[in-house]
Amino acid sequence: MADVNKFDILVIGSLNADLVVRAPRFPKPGETLGGGDLLTIPGGKGANQAVAAARQGVQVGMVGRVGSDNFGPVLVENLKSNHVDTSRVATADSATGTAIIVVDDDGQNSIVLSAGANGQVLAADVDSAPDAKILLLQFEIPMETVVHAAKRYKARGAAVILNPAPARSIPNELLASVDILVPNESELSLLTGIPVGDESSAELAAREILKQGVKIVIVTLGSRGALIVTESQVIQVDAFKVDVVDTTAAGDAFIGGFAAKLLAVNAQSVDFAVDLSVLEGAVRYGCACGALAATKLGAQPSLPSKADVAAFMQ
């Protein structure tokens, strides 16, 4: 794909080979369970969010690293086939990042990550990347790289969206550079030390995050939808009801769809002074993307297209 000077959305994050097996339930310690066929599926939170956004018709670039094994070229070619620019995806002298995923009969998942090449995404990779209207970040690459990227792109006028997953504590200097934080309930609880189990506690915890400079907190609530919290308003957005097959990339589908929808309304840049109804509409669109992703097995194969979402929301 041809190189560009400025992307609609730039994702700096992970690329993983997902090794997926279905089982009736999660095994207990020391227990062996019979499962289905082993599937190897392109994944990684960064790559998932890149594909999720690209399938909504926006121009997306990816910064990351794959390993020098057989998985690396497969992951890069899959991004290319989904119209994601891979000119800033480098090859490290290591194994490609891998996720071992068990999916139970209820569609819930249990995941073990091996960082591999994702652990070698460095500040220098960030500094050589083009500008963007929106920057998407997650925590499957080194924290110092995430902090550097947020500061750099915030200073260059991009809207910085952070998905703080997998859950871990966040340096204050990172939150100061984040415009929109998109945690789930457990991630929000870890960040604030406030137990989060319902909308009321989610709002309380989100307000603690706003005090640290974040403009908007969007708490994803799974089957209960999402909660938008700003300094002036709280909005509950209901989920779409679907038959759940696998939740593996539902959160990534939400974020990619949400970011793409924001750009559809704000073509030149993301304006945080927009009417909150615009923000609510983008979150509802993200919820539709997440719901559709949960109806199929696997990470990137489950991510819906713009046409899929349009038909579903009808």
**Closest to 218 in 3D by CA, of 201, 200, 236:** 236
Contact 261, 282 (CB under 8 A): yes
- Helices of type H across the chain: 45-54, 71-81, 123-127, 143-155, 172-175, 185-192, 199-210, 250-265, 276-293, 306-313
Tokens, residue 167: 């859950």
Conformational region of residue 275, where left means phi above 0, alpha means psi within -120 to 50, and beta covers everything else: beta
Catalytic entry in 105, 179, 252, 275: 252
Tokens, residue 88: 């800033």
131 is catalytic: no
Does residue 278 sit in helix, strand or coil? helix
DSSP labels for 88-129?
A: EEEE-SSPPEEEEEEE-TTS-EEEEEE-GGGGG--HHHHHTS
Q: Which residues are annotated as catalytic? A: 252
